[in-house]
A = this chain, B = another copy of it.
Amino acid sequence: MPNVIIDCLEGRTVEQKRQMVKRVTEAIVQTLDCSPEAVQIIIHEIRDDQLARGGVLRLDQKK
């Protein structure tokens, strides 16, 4: 705790995720006053037919 679940579109590289978890953990440690070890981050990578906004799949928004 804090526990962070990030849903994002698939396609990011491991290096992008590496930098992201490092920077997000720093941001939380420095603002919520907790230890780095306390911060757990779980990434759910989803496809563009599994995400919608305004009633339209992301898949269809790109056409």
Contact = CB atoms under 8 A, between A and B. Distances in A.
Interface of A: 1-9, 12, 14, 16-28, 30-33, 36-37, 39-46, 49-60
Q: Give the number of times this chain occurs in the complex, counting copies.
A: 6
Contact of A22 (B32, B36, B56, B58): B56
Determine chain A's interface SS by DSSP, over half rule.
mixed
B53 A42 contact: no
Contacts of A60: 18
A42 to B, nearest CB: 5
In order of increasing CB-CB distance, the 3 nearest A-B pairs are A25-B55, A23-B27, A21-B52
Contacts of A9: 1-2
A55 B39 contact: yes
